[in-house]
Structure 1
Amino acid sequence: MVVMSILRAILQASPCRSPWRRFQIPSSVPARPCSLYTCTYKTRNRALHPLWESVDLVPAGERQSPINIRWRDSVYDPGLKPLTISYDPTTCLHVWNNGYSFLVEFEDSTDKSVIEGGPLEHNYRLKQFHFHWGAIDAWGSEHTVDSKCYPAELHLVHWNAVKFENFEDAALEENGLAVIGVFLKLGKHHKELQKLVDTLPSIKHKDTLVEFGSFDPSCLMPACPDYWTYSGSLTTPPLSESVTWIIKKQPVEVDHDQSQKVQSRPEEGETKETAAGTRSIERFRQKLHEAWLLREQKAQEEFRIKKEKEEAARKRQEEQEVWYSSDNQLTS
């Protein structure tokens, strides 16, 4: 209880007195704790970030994230249904630069943009989405698959508005958040992502934002509905074990130019390398505890099996009809 009280105090502290000040949006919009909850392990001068220095605030739980996803360890759960995603483009508000990264925030006072189904018991409202990347394309994603790292990872952050009154409370409690993770890999040009990339020059400086209305983030997700899911945590302080992770199996392709522009979001005067080093999350991947299974949903495979069975049944029906027709001709 003491730890939770301390965490709440941090989240609710005013910008001028809190280390969360770096994650506050400009005064042109209502001040509130940043919904990104990302801070780097080290600051620009390579010193430990204040929140990482406070060891007492780091939970010693067994559901810490991120993890290395191993195919052989994932357990197929036939009870897992496809995730239902319903985003209203008009709820998209703005893109802003918090000095470490950029994120896109959404209006979340109603259930206009929600996800449901899959491993979730309730509807979860979309709060924001952001990216994690590295200084080079060889690494950057927080999660890995069989130790393979992707250039970047997209996180769409949702909160449980059925059980909690606000995002800040949900972020601290079990089943409070649901985060969809999407891997990005180098490939063909992504037309929809380009709309976001085009806004980035307008938020070059820390604490700047630009309106970004009528955008449906489902366009950033892969066509394949299959995913892995596990119960985990925030990947940065306060590291609360409040997250149901839903990691899409199929990565999304972006071209090299788009990848470079997403990575190069430093403030003026910084080099790409130094800024990227502070923006990427420097936390070792955690071990998935045996008590918390990594489950997988294979809707695409189930669909394929269903189609194969239907096709086999159709062929049997045709063969029976041919046999019946031939038999009638012989008897006549």
Structure 2
Amino acid sequence: MTGDQWGYGKEDGPSAWHINYPVALGNRQSPIDIVPDETTLDRDLGPIFLDYDSCTSINISNNGHSVVVEFVDSDDRSMIRGGPLDNPYRLKQFHFHWGEKGHEGSEHTVAGLGYASELHLVHWNAVKYRSFTDAASAPDGLAVLGIFLETGDDHRWLHLITDVLFMVKYKDSVTDFKGFNPKCLLPNRLHYWTYLGSLTTPPLHESVTWILLKEPIVVSDKQLGMFRMLLFNGEEEDERKKMENNFRPPQPLNGREVRSSN
């Protein structure tokens, strides 16, 4: 496994990431297991505000690890603010993590239990840093909004994404995906847990203020099954590796405080 080659298999998966990314053994790694009874109720934590009304999606792609929707982030049209954040952060992209059929696939767990999938909306601190790349390695550079997905009925809006997944079946495939507003993927209530952590994929920078919504959204098994039709590898490769179980297991808390907004 070289520095830019990593995955979720036995030899290149999370247990081996520390070989090329020593920070994997750091004190501020993500995800973690949230134990609600052990979190700190912080009445000074205000609500979070998601200013997504003018956000502009650009494309959807398969990066060989997940499916990613990218946004225009050259101005302040799509932001997260409030809560634990000192200033607004711009939306850069969102992506999903999921398991195999019938199994948990979220990265964060709650009292040791996982959800079917987890959605990450990645934002960066454009007030302090000149680019997403600069922010990604800074201690206060990123803010990631995490949303749990549990199985049940069809989600009213997720089909807008699943309907185009066939266009990005293979690694490095990309297609236009304009006009999508992720506001439709939010739960009704925005109560949250927050803690200081890291990216959950290499390079695992310890740069993330995590905001995990307590209320999950509901999606159907059929909708999640569409994600499992994606492949980890490229169209020119002979082997076909289904994209599933693309999540990192919980990491040690190492004494960090997890705060609750209510």
Normalising by structure 2, we get a TM-score of: 0.90
Q: What residue number does 1:250 align with?
A: 215
Q: What residue number does 2:177 align with?
A: 212
Note closer, same or farther for the CA distance 1:59–1:49 as it changes in structure 2 (3 Å cut): closer
> Is it true that 1:124 corresponds to 2:124 in the alignment?
no
Count of matched residue positions in the alignment of Structure 1 and Structure 2: 256
Q: What residue number does 1:297 align with?
A: 261
Q: How does 1:39-50 map to 2 (within 5 A)?
A: 39-42=6-9, 46-48=10-12
Q: How does 1:176-195 map to 2 (within 5 A)?
A: 176-195=141-160
Q: What residue number does 2:225 align with?
A: 260
Name the one with the larger helix percent. 1
Question: Which secondary structure state, in structure 2, belongs to the residue aligned with residue 156 of structure 1?
Answer: strand
Note closer, same or farther for the CA distance 1:270–1:56 as it changes in structure 2 (3 Å cut): closer
Question: Which secondary structure state, in structure 2, belongs to the residue aligned with residue 192 of structure 1?
Answer: coil
> Is it true that 1:165 corresponds to 2:130 in the alignment?
yes
Report how far residue 127 of structure 1 moved.
Answer: 0.4
Note closer, same or farther for the CA distance 1:133–1:238 as it changes in structure 2 (3 Å cut): same
Give distance in 1, aligned partners of 2:202 and 2:33: 20
Residues 32 and 109, structure 2, Cα contact 8 Å, conserved in 1:
yes
Residues 80 and 88, structure 2, Cα contact 8 Å, conserved in 1:
yes
Q: 237, 246, 253: which is aligned to 1:280?
A: 246
Note closer, same or farther for the CA distance 1:151–1:56 as it changes in structure 2 (3 Å cut): closer
* Paired AA for residue 137 in structure 1: G
Report how far residue 237 of structure 1 moved.
Answer: 2.0
Note closer, same or farther for the CA distance 1:189–1:56 as it changes in structure 2 (3 Å cut): closer
Structure 1 stretches of 5 or more lacking a match?
1-17, 23-38, 299-332
Question: Which secondary structure state, in structure 2, belongs to the residue aligned with residue 72 of structure 1?
Answer: helix
Give distance in 1, aligned partners of 2:204 and 2:228: 24
Residues 57 and 238, structure 1, Cα contact 8 Å, conserved in 2:
no
Question: Which secondary structure state, in structure 1, belongs to the residue aligned with residue 184 of structure 2?
Answer: helix
Report how far residue 89 of structure 1 moved.
Answer: 4.9
Question: Which secondary structure state, in structure 2, belongs to the residue aligned with residue 168 of structure 1?
Answer: helix
Report how far residue 59 of structure 1 moved.
Answer: 5.2
Residues 108 and 249, structure 2, Cα contact 8 Å, conserved in 1:
no
Q: Flag the structure with more relative contact order, 1 or 2, with Cα contacts below 8 A and sequence separation at least 6.
A: 2
Name the one with the larger strand percent. 2
Instruction: Please list the CA deviations of residues 167-212 of structure 1 after superposition, one character each: whole Å capped at 9, or x if unmatched.
Output: 1111111111000000001111112111111111111222221111
**Structure 1 ranges of 4+ moved more than 6 A:** none
User: Considering only aligned residues, what root-mean-square deviation do their CA atoms show, in Å?
Assistant: 2.2
* Paired AA for residue 246 in structure 2: S
Residues 77 and 297, structure 1, Cα contact 8 Å, conserved in 2:
yes
Give distance in 2, aligned partners of 1:120 and 1:236: 22
Note closer, same or farther for the CA distance 1:195–1:294 as it changes in structure 2 (3 Å cut): same
Report how far residue 270 of structure 1 moved.
Answer: 5.5
* Paired AA for residue 294 in structure 1: V
Give distance in 1, aligned partners of 2:100 and 2:78: 32
Residues 54 and 77, structure 2, Cα contact 8 Å, conserved in 1:
no
Report how far residue 90 of structure 1 moved.
Answer: 4.9
